[in-house]
Copies of this chain bind each other. A is one copy, B any other.
């Protein structure tokens, strides 16, 4: 028995496990409901270790946020690069947001982030950055589609803003478990909206 199953090989792995546990706890307890002991339980460590690696509960929460941010970027970049043309890319964004991407479609978490952003500056910065990234990806795809002739929006900026906002709004229904809102319906509703908004040829 060279290694105890509980003790990770490297401290860094323990640290990572704590962050992942933090994300999990926040997802279903919310930022406000997350206790140090919850994270400790979920990560299988002591409370002390969490305070040792991060300086405070807030430190752990913020570190979890930046982890999330990084994963969001990775997901988005990797997934979009795989798609051939602008139409496919846009279609894929709908599916990603509908929950097919591990980080991108994590709407309960984004909801929590939005509200935390109302009161916490770190969260505000993270939120802004995520949103900017998502919107600029969207705008890029639209521009690309304009170049290829697939899209013909009346006002590119306004269309990008509307489509991004539409996604957020639909996602709220999904996150809150509204009757009749499913990932598929979200994807469809958004795609139809994009077809209209970008005046795609049918």
Instruction: Mark contacts of A143-162 with chain B using CB atoms, 8 A cut-off: 1 yes-contact digit, 0 otherwise.
Output: 00000000000110010011
Interface residues of A in 79-125 (CB under 8 A from B): 108, 111-112, 114-115, 117-119, 124
Q: 7 pairs across A/B with beta carbons < 8 Å?
A: A30-B118, A31-B32, A115-B115, A155-B192, A158-B192, A165-B168, A165-B169
Contact A108 B114 (CB under 8 A): no
B-contacting 9-mer, from A4-12, A16-24, A173-181: A173-181
Using a Cβ–Cβ cut-off of 8 Å, how many residues does chain A contribute to the interface with B? 39
Q: With A and B bound together, what is the CA distance between A158 and B31 in angstroms?
A: 33
Contact B172 A33 (CB under 8 A): no
Point out the residues of chain B lying under 8 angstroms from A197, CB to CB.
193, 196
A137 within 8 A of B: no
A189 within 8 A of B: yes
Point out the residues of chain B lying under 8 angstroms from A200, CB to CB.
none
User: Which A positions have Cβ atoms within 8 angstroms of B?
Assistant: 29-33, 108, 111-112, 114-115, 117-119, 124, 127-128, 131, 154-155, 158, 161-162, 164-170, 172-173, 175-176, 178, 189, 192-193, 196-197
Known: A111-B118, A161-B170, A169-B172. 18 other contacts (CB 8 A): A114-B115, A114-B176, A118-B175, A118-B176, A124-B176, A128-B176, A155-B192, A158-B189, A161-B173, A162-B166, A164-B169, A165-B166, A165-B169, A165-B172, A165-B173, A166-B166, A169-B169, A169-B170
- Minimum CB–CB distance from A181 to chain B (whole Å) comes to 9
Partner of A169, one of B33, B108, B155, B168: B168
